[in-house]
């Protein structure tokens, strides 16, 4: 498969998971400077790796939540939490992933992402002072 087909397939998957407006905003965020990276993301991350048959989308989403939480990437965690909803992950599954992160990577790794997950799952809002750690 050529890269233009991978790119198109990946862009479709991204938009399905995160919504067209969010994907377009992320792709435009770094302008022309970021275009080569967006090409890699669309073609290889979403067009190739996310399309492999070995893991269903919900499992891939849960893995991404664990990775982004454990590596202290809250902005990426937020993006993938929204994708996890689109891929059918439940609140209980996400909560269990974050408890595993807390146990194996340390509580500080799970604090911010737990707050983000609560917000994404409608448990709290960003403006809620009780939502702050």
- Percentage of the chain exceeding pLDDT 90: 89
- CATH of region 55-133: 1.20.1290.10
Domain boundaries defined on the chain:
1-52, 55-133
Can you tell me the distance from the alpha carbon of 88 to that of 76, in angstroms, rounded to the nearest whole number? 18
Longest dimension (CA), the chain: 50
Does 99 score more than 50 pLDDT? yes
Does 122 score more than 60 pLDDT? yes
Q: What is the pTM of this model?
A: 0.88
More confident position, 61 or 125: 61
CB-count burial class (<10 Å; 0-12, 13-18, 19+) for 111: middle
Does 120 score more than 80 pLDDT? yes
Q: What is the pLDDT of residues 20-59, one digit of tens each?
A: 999 999 999 999 999 999 999 999 999 999 999 999 999 9
């Amino acid at each position: 498969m050529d890269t233009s087909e991978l790119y198109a397939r990946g862009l479709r998957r991204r938009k399905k998971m995160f919504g067209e407006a969010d994907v377009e905003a992320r792709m435009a965020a770094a302008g022309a400077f970021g275009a080569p990276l967006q090409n890699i993301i669309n073609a290889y991350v979403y067009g190739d790796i996310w399309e492999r048959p070995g893991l269903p989308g919900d499992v891939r989403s849960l893995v991404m939540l664990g990775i982004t939480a454990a590596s202290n990437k809250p902005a990426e965690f937020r993006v993938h939490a929204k994708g996890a909803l689109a891929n059918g992950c439940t609140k209980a599954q996400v909560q269990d992933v974050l408890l595993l992160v807390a146990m194996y990577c340390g509580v500080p790794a799970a604090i911010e992402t737990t707050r983000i997950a609560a917000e994404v799952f409608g448990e709290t809002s960003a403006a809620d002072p009780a939502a702050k750690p």
